[in-house]
Structure 1
Amino acid sequence: MPLVNHPSLGSVRGTLDNGVEAYLGIQYATLSHPFAAAVPVEIHRHTADDFLDATSYGPTVPGPDGCDAELALIQHDLPRQHAQQSMTDGLTLNILRTQKEFSSLLPVLVFLHGGGLAVGSATWSQNRLSKLISVSGEQDLPTVGVSVNYRVGPAGFLTSEEMRNAGFPPNNGLKDQRAALEWVKDHIAGFGGDPDNITLVGHSAGAACATYHLASHKPLFNRIVCLSGTFLAVRTLPSPVHEALYAQSIRILGLEQMSTEERIRRLQKISSTDLARIAVVLSRPITDDDVCLMTPSFEGIQDGIPTSLHPLWCKDILIGDCQFDGSILASAFDGHTNDISRRFRAFLTDQLADVPDAASRLLAAYRFTADDDAALKQILKLANDIVFYAPTVAIARAWQHGAAYVYRFDQGNPWEGRWQGEASHITDLAMLTQNFNEVLPDEHREVAKMYARDLLTFASGQPPWEAFKPGPSPFSKTYGGSLSGEGRRELIWGFMDEIGADRLAALIDGFIATTTSP
Structure 2
Amino acid sequence: MLSISFFLLTALAWTTNAASPKATTLNGTYVGKNLPGWEQDAFLGIPYAQPPVGNLRFKWPQSLDSSFTEERTATEYGDSCMQYTQNWTMSEDCLSLNVIRPAGKPKKLLPVLVWIYGGGLYAGSSADPQYNLSGIVKVSQDMKEPILAVSFNYRLGMWGFLQNFSLLKEGNANAGLLDQRLALRWIQENIEAFGGDPERVVVWGESAGAQSIAYQMFSYDGRDDGLYRGAILESGGITGAQIHDLSYYNVAFENLTRTVGCWDKKDQLACLRDLDEKSLYAARPSLTFNPLIDGTFLTGYPSQLIREKNYHTVPLIIGANTDEGFCIAKVNTDQDLFYEAFRWRNYALSAPTIRKLMELYPDDPCHEPPYAITNCSRQDGNYQGRRACAIGADITMISGRRKLAELYAQSEDVYSYRFDQRPYLRAEWDGVKHFDNVAFSFQNISGLLGPSPQYDSHAVLANTIGQAYVRFVNSLDPNYKNGKLPKWPKYSESKPKNMVLNATKNWVEDDTWRKQGIDYINSYEVARELYG
Structure 2 counterpart of 1:41, from 49, 64, 67? 64
Structure 1 counterpart of 2:360, from 355, 359, 362? 362
SS in 2 for 1:187: helix
Q: Is the 8 A contact 1:106 1:143 kept in 2?
A: yes
Does the C-alpha gap of structure 1 residues 146 and 359 become closer, same or farther in structure 2, counting only changes over 3 Å? closer
Which residue number in structure 2 is paired with residue 8 of structure 1?
26
Which residue number in structure 2 is paired with residue 319 of structure 1?
318
Which residue number in structure 2 is paired with residue 76 of structure 1?
none
Which residue number in structure 2 is paired with residue 86 of structure 1?
91
Which residue number in structure 2 is paired with residue 342 of structure 1?
335
Aligned residues: 472
Which residue number in structure 1 is paired with residue 306 of structure 2?
301
Structure 1 or 2: more helix by fraction: 1
Q: Deviations over 1:428-475 (max 9, x none)?
A: 111111122354411111111111111111011241133212235431
Report the CA distance between 1:491 and its aligned residue.
5.3
Q: Deviations over 1:145-203 (max 9, x none)?
A: 000100011011111103334x3711011000001000000000000000111001111
Which residue number in structure 1 is paired with residue 163 of structure 2?
159
Could you tell me the percent identity over the aligned residues?
23
Does the C-alpha gap of structure 1 residues 269 and 254 become closer, same or farther in structure 2, counting only changes over 3 Å? closer
Report the CA distance between 1:340 and its aligned residue.
7.1
Does the C-alpha gap of structure 1 residues 195 and 125 become closer, same or farther in structure 2, counting only changes over 3 Å? same
Which residue number in structure 2 is paired with residue 32 of structure 1?
53
Which residue number in structure 1 is paired with residue 441 of structure 2?
432
**TM-score, length of structure 1 as denominator length:** 0.81
Which residue number in structure 2 is paired with residue 219 of structure 1?
226
Q: Deviations over 1:29-51 (max 9, x none)?
A: 022333122111234243xxx31
Q: Is the 8 A contact 2:46 2:98 kept in 1?
A: yes
- The 2-side partners of 1:499 and 1:91 are apart by 37
Q: Is the 8 A contact 1:340 1:376 kept in 2?
A: no
Structure 2 counterpart of 1:495, from 510, 517, 520? 517
Q: Deviations over 1:84-124 (max 9, x none)?
A: x332x210000000114321100011110000001110001
SS in 2 for 1:235: coil
Q: Is the 8 A contact 1:158 1:245 kept in 2?
A: no
Q: Is the 8 A contact 1:25 1:58 kept in 2?
A: yes
Q: Is the 8 A contact 1:112 1:202 kept in 2?
A: yes
**TM-score, length of structure 2 as denominator length:** 0.79
Q: Is the 8 A contact 2:443 2:463 kept in 1?
A: yes
Q: Is the 8 A contact 1:413 1:422 kept in 2?
A: no
SS in 2 for 1:454: helix
- The 2-side partners of 1:355 and 1:423 are apart by 27
- The 1-side partners of 2:306 and 2:519 are apart by 14
Are 1:405 and 2:415 an aligned pair? Answer: yes
Which residue number in structure 2 is paired with residue 198 of structure 1?
201
Structure 2 counterpart of 1:479, from 501, 505, 509? 501
The amino acid of 1:189's aligned partner reads E
Report the CA distance between 1:375 and its aligned residue.
2.7
Report the CA distance between 1:353 and its aligned residue.
5.9
Report the CA distance between 1:424 and its aligned residue.
1.2
The amino acid of 1:388's aligned partner reads M
Report the CA distance between 1:264 and its aligned residue.
3.2
Q: Is the 8 A contact 2:237 2:400 kept in 1?
A: yes
The amino acid of 2:392's aligned partner reads A
Are 1:289 and 2:311 an aligned pair? Answer: no
Report the CA distance between 1:136 and its aligned residue.
1.4
Are 1:378 and 2:384 an aligned pair? Answer: no
Unaligned runs of 5+ in 1: 68-81, 511-518
SS in 1 for 2:280: helix
Matches within 5 A, 1:87-236: 87=92, 89-165=93-169, 167=170, 169-214=172-217, 215-216=219-220, 217=223, 218-236=225-243
Does the C-alpha gap of structure 1 residues 344 and 128 become closer, same or farther in structure 2, counting only changes over 3 Å? same
- The 1-side partners of 2:496 and 2:22 are apart by 48
SS in 2 for 1:318: strand
Q: Deviations over 1:335-364 (max 9, x none)?
A: xx4767532235679977658973552352
SS in 1 for 2:397: helix
Report the CA distance between 1:490 and its aligned residue.
4.2
- The 2-side partners of 1:455 and 1:66 are apart by 31
Q: Is the 8 A contact 1:383 1:508 kept in 2?
A: no
